[in-house]
Amino acid sequence: MAIVLVRYNIAKGQQPVDKTDRSPPSPKKVWNVTEVPTPEATQIRGPEAPQQLPNYSRDYQDITADTDDDDDQQEQNEQELQAIENLAMEIGDLTANTGHVTTEELLLTAVQQVINRYPEITNDEQREAISNMIIRAALQDCGLTISLSKVRSLWPAVS
């Protein structure tokens, strides 16, 4: 009978089925997850038993007062960073637009006018970074070599 089926399948253009080539099916993995409470969670001991909670309202008010100061400081820092970014962009635009047709005195006067619009920048490290940026921009965009002491003199005194 098997020979007849093989010949019949060949006549129809189908390949004969080879029963010895079958691989066994892979075993299925079954996962079972159960939650088991710990002994500590199920037992309430004497001192851990629910009691009347202490009044923390005074401490809460003190904490909120501290966070208000932190929020004010954070807002001030954000304003300073925004001012630094705006100043850097204005100076970059100034040097790029001025180009090689300016003198050192004209460039320093224009830069000082821009710096004077940002009196909130009082941090020495931030001023130093902006000063270094001014020196690089003057050299790159205008072809002028400006000393650090001249750029530092552009900043208003911190009171």
The predicted pLDDT at position 114 comes to 94
The predicted pLDDT at position 71 comes to 77
Sole residue written with tokens 């911190």: 158
The predicted pLDDT at position 24 comes to 63
The predicted pLDDT at position 136 comes to 94
Residue 46 identity:
G
The predicted pLDDT at position 80 comes to 86
**Alpha carbon distance 157, 159 (integer Å):** 6
Judge residue 137's burial from the number of C-beta atoms within 10 Å of its C-beta, 0-12 exposed, 13-18 middle, 19 or more buried: buried
Q: For every one of its 159 residues, what pLDDT tens digit does the chain have, with 9 covering 90 and above?
A: 555 555 555 555 555 555 555 666 666 666 666 666 665 555 555 555 555 555 555 544 554 555 566 778 888 888 888 999 999 999 999 999 988 888 999 999 999 999 999 998 888 999 999 999 999 999 999 999 999 999 999 998 876
**Alpha carbon distance 98, 113 (integer Å):** 15
Are 95 and 130 contacting, i.e. CB atoms less than 8 angstroms apart? no
Between 124-137 and 57-98, two packed helices, what is the crossing angle to 10 degrees? Answer: 20
Judge residue 150's burial from the number of C-beta atoms within 10 Å of its C-beta, 0-12 exposed, 13-18 middle, 19 or more buried: middle
Residue 67 identity:
T
